[in-house]
């Protein structure tokens, strides 16, 4: 699995809410989708040491419109999750950001380096005829520390053409709104329907495979 296909979450779901970045596993097209259709979103959210992690969100398409004049609507509900052990739990999840695959970039950062991974030994000064000798003050370039893994970060960019500019991009968990789909609008949340999200557009809505969804999830099964 590519890193770009992986999910990441933040927050304390056990006590309230969490944010998850999830990759859409297939195309969602207003012209082809039907009301009542289900989409299973893979994720990995650890809720506690004593419980199996949440690995799947069950998305239900509750309404689809694709008119002749081009206006379209996709309304979805996310109110059920499955743990790795197969148990289902109730949740309330809504979309707070959508990003096209071209709006997403990956960055890697090394968390540590070794200044001199291979100390100089006498054999380093031995050279074949015609081979140059290294200068006395030569040091090899630093290597990553093996026990410190590479840190992975996914960012979402407002303008895909300028996604190499840090000022145009934001951490995926902090993204809000629609990125890369210029004609699509993420409608404001209805307080009475916290598990529902609605997308509208003057054109046909077609979310490509690999589209990134940022979800705000609420644990509705926790004791009050």
What is the tens place of the pLDDT at every residue in 90-114? Answer: 999 999 999 999 999 877 665 555 4
Whether 80 has a pLDDT exceeding 50, the answer reads yes
Whether 29 has a pLDDT exceeding 90, the answer reads yes
Torsion (CA) 204, 209, 215, 220 in degrees, nearest 10 = 100
What is the pairing mode between strands 169-171 and 177-179?
Answer: unpaired
Please check whether residue 39 is in contact with residue 172, taking contact to mean a CB–CB distance below 8 angstroms: no
Whether 33 has a pLDDT exceeding 90, the answer reads yes
Whether 187 has a pLDDT exceeding 70, the answer reads yes
How much is the average pLDDT of 161-189? 85
Q: Provide the CA 121 distance to its chain's centre, in angstroms.
A: 47
Which residue from 188, 217, 216, 218 is spatially nearest to 200, judged by alpha carbons?
Answer: 188
Q: Provide the CA 168 distance to its chain's centre, in angstroms.
A: 17
Q: CA 190, 11, 215, 52 torsion: positive or negative?
A: negative
Q: What pLDDT sits at residue 216? A: 92
Q: Which band of pLDDT confidence, cut at 50, 70 and 90, is reported for residue 47?
A: confident
Q: Which band of pLDDT confidence, cut at 50, 70 and 90, is reported for residue 1?
A: very low
pTM of structure: 0.74
| More confidently predicted of 127 and 194 | 194
Which residue from 11, 95, 25 is spatially nearest to 54, judged by alpha carbons?
Answer: 11
Q: What pLDDT sits at residue 5? A: 46
Cα 215 to Cα 195: distance, rounded to the nearest angstrom = 10
């Amino acid at each position: 699995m590519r890193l770009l296909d992986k999910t990441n979450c933040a927050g304390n779901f056990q006590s309230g809410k969490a944010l998850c970045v999830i990759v859409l596993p297939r195309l969602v097209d207003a012209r082809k989708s039907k009301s009542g259709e289900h989409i299973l979103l893979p994720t990995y959210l650890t809720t506690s040491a004593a419980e199996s992690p949440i690995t799947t969100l069950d998305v239900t398409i509750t309404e689809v419109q694709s008119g002749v004049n081009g206006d379209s609507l996709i309304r979805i509900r996310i109110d059920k999750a499955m743990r790795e052990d197969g148990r289902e739990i109730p949740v309330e999840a809504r979309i707070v950001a959508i990003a096209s695959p071209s709006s997403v970039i990956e960055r890697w950062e090394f968390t540590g380096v070794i200044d001199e991974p291979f100390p100089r030994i006498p054999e380093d000064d031995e050279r074949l005829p015609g081979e140059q000798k290294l200068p006395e003050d030569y040091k090899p370039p630093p290597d990553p520390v093996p026990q410190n893994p590479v840190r992975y970060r996914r960012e979402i960019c407002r303008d895909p053409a300028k996604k190499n500019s840090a000022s145009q991009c934001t951490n995926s968990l902090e993204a809000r709104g629609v990125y890369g789909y210029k004609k699509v609008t993420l409608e404001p949340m209805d307080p009475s329907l916290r598990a529902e999200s609605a997308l509208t557009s003057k054109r046909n809505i077609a979310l490509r495979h690999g589209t990134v969804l940022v979800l705000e999830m609420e644990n509705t099964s926790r004791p009050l």
